[in-house]
Structure 1
Amino acid sequence: MTRAPLAAGDHRVRAILGGGAIEAPCVDHDMAVALFDRLRRIAPNIRIERIAGTRVVEVAGLS
């Protein structure tokens, strides 16, 4: 079984802050990876999640 490619907007990056979550939709996989890496470098103490479709595929920071 092969999976259909994700549509634009199915890639997101979420930052979990004290006041709640902030989610940024991304155009494609490359943009999501770049944003995730940038946030991981500048905010290592904040939980950051990279989401593809309905799955969290990468997590960084505090749990």
Structure 2
Amino acid sequence: MASSSQQKSLQDESHLEAGQQQWSEITPASTSAAVEGADGFHSVKVEPRASARSTPAFARS
């Protein structure tokens, strides 16, 4: 009984390791995509700020 449970835990561990390897392989691509999305977000955020700055000047004139 003990040996069979040890084998099961070994199988679970090897499965976890395989999943972690898959994850580390997937991560770089998804990380770079997330960085690109963050850059896109930045440019979107910067534009409203610029227009918000120009709006008070517009209201003054």
TM over 0.5: no
Higher fraction of helix? 2
Larger radius of gyration: 2
Q: RCO greater where, 1 or 2, for CA within 8 Å and sep 6 or more?
A: 1
